[in-house]
Amino acid sequence: MGIFLGAFSYPLHIYHSSALFLMNLVPNRIAYQSLFKIIFYLMRQNLLKDYLIYLESQMQEPDLSIEISGFKMGNPLMLASGILGTTIASLRKVFEAGAGAVVTKSIGYEPRAGYENPTLVEVHGGYLNAIGLSNPGIREFYNELLESKIDDLPLIVSLFGSKKSEFRYMTSLLDKLNIKAYELNLSCPHVMGFGNEVGQDPKAVRRIIESVKEETKKPVFVKLSPNVKDIVEIAKVAENSGADALTVINTIRAMSIDIETFRPILANKIGGLSGPAIKPIAVRCVYEVSKEVKIPVIGCGGIMNWQDVIEFFLAGARAVQIGTAIAYEGLSIFEKIKKGIRDYLIIKGKKSVRDIVGLSHDF
Amino acid sequence: MAFPMIFNKPRIVKVLKVIDESPTVRSLIFKDDLCSKAKPGQFIMVWIPGVGEIPMSVSMMKDGLAGLTVRKVGEASNALFNMKVNSMIGIRGPYGNSFNPIIGKVMIVGAGTGLAPLMPLLDILTDKSASIDMIVGGKTVEEFIFMNKIKEILSKTESKIVVTTEDGSYGIKGLVTDAILPILKEKRFDMIYTCGPELMMKKVFDMAQEFNIPIQASLERVMKCGIGICGSCCIGKYNVCKDGPVFDFQMLKEVKDEFGLFKRDHSGKRVMF
Ligand SMILES: Cc1cc2nc3c(=O)[nH]c(=O)nc-3n(C[C@H](O)[C@H](O)[C@H](O)COP(=O)(O)OP(=O)(O)OC[C@H]3O[C@@H](n4cnc5c(N)ncnc54)[C@H](O)[C@@H]3O)c2cc1C
Ligand SMILES: Cc1cc2nc3c(=O)[nH]c(=O)nc-3n(C[C@H](O)[C@H](O)[C@H](O)COP(=O)(O)O)c2cc1C
Ligand code: FES
């Protein structure tokens, strides 16, 4: 039944949505407050029923769904790679908590134990991690996928590797399965020979993307690093090599030292910074990249709330990924953000999230 | 201070006291406010600078002090075992959920360093429970830790202690699980608490199911972040570091396809028990 329906006491969110709707119609705060008081009173007396039914029929739920190169998502919030993405069971849990899509932890050709602990340490404004691309290897991962039910899961597999033959093998093995897209991690900031070394080299980027595209018809996203001279240059190379979308950005090389023992805290000494501290950098990267390429950009880095998501959209992102915020907020963050975006779109009179993509480019 | 405090970063503490519990197990005592307020079953990530960082249960909390109890098994635990008074270690936490102490007739089943998180629980239970049946198992007599302390704590309440060793060097010869069955047949319990090798806990869980007794078991999985984001400690849809380490009857049922069957190594690969 309609959201405005019901007798004497309406659920709270109804007052909330009508308030948001009104804010959009009246000129100033005082007018809005008096108007809202009257309406609130009438609602309590149940006198506005017919009008509310009419209003609701006029007021559309904003559309949160998006599409990236043929891959449809119910909402634009994705789980970022490496966060809770080790098993299908935990990815499913994140999906059920409200994510529009989930990205696995980056999988490589061989099993990797990753670095010694400490692999993670909190700093002001975020976390440093040097997990070190730990993963069970493509064959074990493939076997687990085979045993799992994934048909209804908007599952994106993140892959890393050091050469194109590895990427080729991994894609061809996985392609028979019902995964929805790939994300190539060409940007891990702290593992030699993988990630960033590959992602900095335009020729390597081209070779890898082209070879993956030869093995699959599914969308291929490419995850970029901010730890490069010019992210726009690499973004263009990725686009020209056939990437269907770009994920911007991965973590930023950083370090933390313990002053009591004089030692770097991470066993690997250097790690990748994530969390709110990197958001302005990520927004800048999304802005610069999305201005220069035609393929969709997926924003990532430091998103903590719905306002951050809107900022990424305005900067030019068509979807976003959320990682570190889960350490602060837990999985309830997905529903909170969805609600925030919805209310924002109502206030701004926008029918769809798609309508605010890149609006900051106009200025 | 303009910035909020950072919680998930090692706090450097000095080892104040080292206690030999057995030839392979030692307890380290240190001063830390947060850990001294930990709940029974919670754990900390212990940084041994230059060596590694490993999860350890808080085995003692009292008046601003806290303790951990480590068995030397590999590199990091050996280094921790060899810490001296005044050595510096880093700790973060306490993390995870905790045992839920109940009022009633309880059974506690522990083995090896599995006793570490059970000790603070025992302290609380002596004030609360109607009776405590404590079953402690091990391979051989040298492995036993905390026995005097357990006897002392339990002397304050209606209780019974059963000890088993596989080689018969102490108590009844056999497995802990063999000793439990006759007790369960004889007496009705309101709760079973257990911590120890997973195969033992699995058998205890099976018996709890058979006799329809609620259970709380403390699990172990490989831990890296300790705060529920890296996913290395997952079992089923749960993260042991955040949703656990203490699993109740319902949660254990939900992870029955993994519990007692396999765990994951540092790469995430499945390893059978
Ligand atoms: C919640 C929790 C509480 C624990 N409490 C205690 C305790 O009170 N006393 C105690 O002696 N031990 C405890 N352990 C086990 C302890 O963490 C391991 O014995 C220790 O990590 C071994 O490290 P190592 O480098 O010495 O051994 P390694 O040679 O590296 O490994 C030996 C075995 O220890 C386990 N292990 C290694 N690294 C980790 C890790 N990062 N996380 C989890 N397991 C690991 C693995 O099963 C491995 O096969 C606990 C584990 C967990 C998960
Ligand atoms: C613990 C941890 C592990 C990560 N592992 C990966 C990974 O395996 N592959 C990858 O592409 N990105 C990985 N990342 C980077 C995130 O996907 C994301 O790009 C980054 O954290 C920025 O987003 P955030 O601030 O929302 O976390 C990891 C990040 C963290 C914190
Ligand atoms: S240790 Fe990282 S999620 Fe549990």
A300 annotated active-site: no
Give the Cα separation of B44 and B196 in Å (integer).
17
pLDDT in tens, B151-195: 999 998 899 999 999 998 899 999 888 999 999 999 999 999 999
- Say if residue B110 is in the same domain as residue B156: yes
pLDDT in tens, A307-356: 999 999 999 999 999 999 999 999 999 999 999 999 999 889 899 999 99
- Say if residue B111 is in the same domain as residue B61: no
Per-residue confidence (pLDDT) for residue B2, from 0 to 100: 60
Give the Cα separation of A234 and A205 in Å (integer).
8
Residue ranges of chain A whose CB lies within 8 Å of a chain B CB: 82-87, 89-90, 92-93, 105, 111-114, 116-124, 127, 129, 131, 134-137, 140, 144, 256, 258, 260-261, 263, 265, 267, 323-324, 326-327, 330
- Say if residue B184 is in the same domain as residue B81: no
Q: Show which of B48, B74, B95 is a domain's final residue.
A: B95
Q: Is the pLDDT assigned to residue A93 strictly greater than 60? A: yes
Q: Is the pLDDT assigned to residue B86 strictly greater than 80? A: yes
ipTM over cut 0.85? yes
**Residue in chain B lying closest to A86 (CA):** B231
Per-residue confidence (pLDDT) for residue A1, from 0 to 100: 34
Q: Which amino acid is at A345?
A: L
- Say if residue B74 is in the same domain as residue B184: no
Q: Is the pLDDT assigned to residue A240 strictly greater than 90? A: yes
Q: Is residue B82 part of a domain?
A: yes
**Residue in chain B lying closest to A260 (CA):** B12
* Contacts (Cβ under 8 Å, ≥6 apart) of A208: A161, A164, A167, A184, A186, A198
Cis, peptide link before residue B197, omega less than 30° from 0: no
> pLDDT class for A193, splitting at 50, 70, 90?
low
Side-chain-facing half-sphere of A237: CA atoms under 13 Å: 20
CB-based contact A119 B231, cutoff 8 Å: no
Q: Which amino acid is at A55?
A: L
Lowest mean pLDDT across A34-38, A227-231, B52-56, B109-113: A34-38
- A191, A133 in Cβ contact below 8 A? yes
Smallest CA separation from ligand 1 atom 9, residue: B70
> pLDDT class for A14, splitting at 50, 70, 90?
low
Task: Tell me the three state secondary structure of residue B10.
Answer: coil
Between B62 and A1, name the one with better pLDDT.
Answer: B62
Q: Which atom of ligand 3 is nearest to the CA of B228?
A: 3
CB-based contact B3 A92, cutoff 8 Å: no
Q: For residue A322, what is the DSSP state?
A: E
Lowest mean pLDDT across A21-25, B70-74, B110-114: A21-25
> pLDDT class for B67, splitting at 50, 70, 90?
very high
Q: Is residue B114 part of a domain?
A: yes
Whether ligand 2 lies within 6 angstroms of the CB of A131 is answered as: yes
Side-chain-facing half-sphere of B247: CA atoms under 13 Å: 27
Q: Is residue B75 part of a domain?
A: yes
Q: Which ligand is nearest to the CA of A119?
A: 2
> pLDDT class for B143, splitting at 50, 70, 90?
confident
pLDDT in tens, B184-236: 999 999 999 999 999 999 999 999 999 999 999 999 999 999 999 999 999 99
In this prediction the pTM is 0.91
- Say if residue B191 is in the same domain as residue B142: yes
Give the Cα separation of B239 and B232 in Å (integer).
8
Per-residue confidence (pLDDT) for residue A36, from 0 to 100: 73
Number of structural domains found in chain B: 2
Q: Is residue B100 part of a domain?
A: no
What dotted CATH number matches A66-362?
3.20.20.70
From chain B, pick out residues whose CB is under 8 angstroms from the CB of A85: 231
- Say if residue B55 is in the same domain as residue B112: no
CB atoms within 10 A of CB A161: 27
Give the Cα separation of A168 and A323 in Å (integer).
27
- A312, A318 in Cβ contact below 8 A? no
Per-residue confidence (pLDDT) for residue A9, from 0 to 100: 46
Question: Which residues in B106-126 are b (16+ Cβ under 10 Å) and which e?
Answer: bbbbbbbbbbbbbbbbbbebb
Q: Which atom of ligand 2 is nearest to the CA of A133?
A: 8
- Say if residue B261 is in the same domain as residue B159: yes
Q: What is the mean pLDDT of residues A271-282?
A: 97
CB-based contact B268 A134, cutoff 8 Å: yes
Q: Is residue B194 part of a domain?
A: yes
CB-based contact A263 B228, cutoff 8 Å: no
Smallest CA separation from ligand 2 atom 4, residue: A82
Q: Is residue B65 part of a domain?
A: yes
pLDDT in tens, B11-25: 999 999 999 999 999
Q: What is the mean pLDDT of residues A12-39?
A: 70
> pLDDT class for B122, splitting at 50, 70, 90?
very high
Q: Show which of B64, B95, B126 is a domain's final residue.
A: B95
Average per-residue pLDDT for chain A? 90
* Residue B88 belongs to domain spanning: 5-95
DSSP string, A208-271: HHHHHHHH-SS-EEEEE-SSSS-HHHHHHHHHHTT-SEEEE---EEEE-B-TTT--BSSTTSEE
* Contacts (Cβ under 8 Å, ≥6 apart) of A228: A196, A199, A200, A234
From chain B, pick out residues whose CB is under 8 angstroms from the CB of A261: 12, 49, 88, 90
- Say if residue B122 is in the same domain as residue B202: yes
CATH number of the CATH domain containing B70: 2.40.30.10
Q: Show which of B63, B95, B127 is a domain's final residue.
A: B95
Whether ligand 2 lies within 6 angstroms of the CB of A135 is answered as: no
Cα dihedral value A134, A135, A136, A140, nearest 10:
-170
CB-based contact A90 B234, cutoff 8 Å: yes
CATH number of the CATH domain containing B170: 3.40.50.80
**Residue in chain B lying closest to A265 (CA):** B49
- Say if residue B73 is in the same domain as residue B134: no
- Say if residue B144 is in the same domain as residue B253: yes
Distance A272 CA to ligand 2 centre (A): 8
pLDDT in tens, A118-129: 999 999 999 999
Per-residue confidence (pLDDT) for residue A2, from 0 to 100: 38
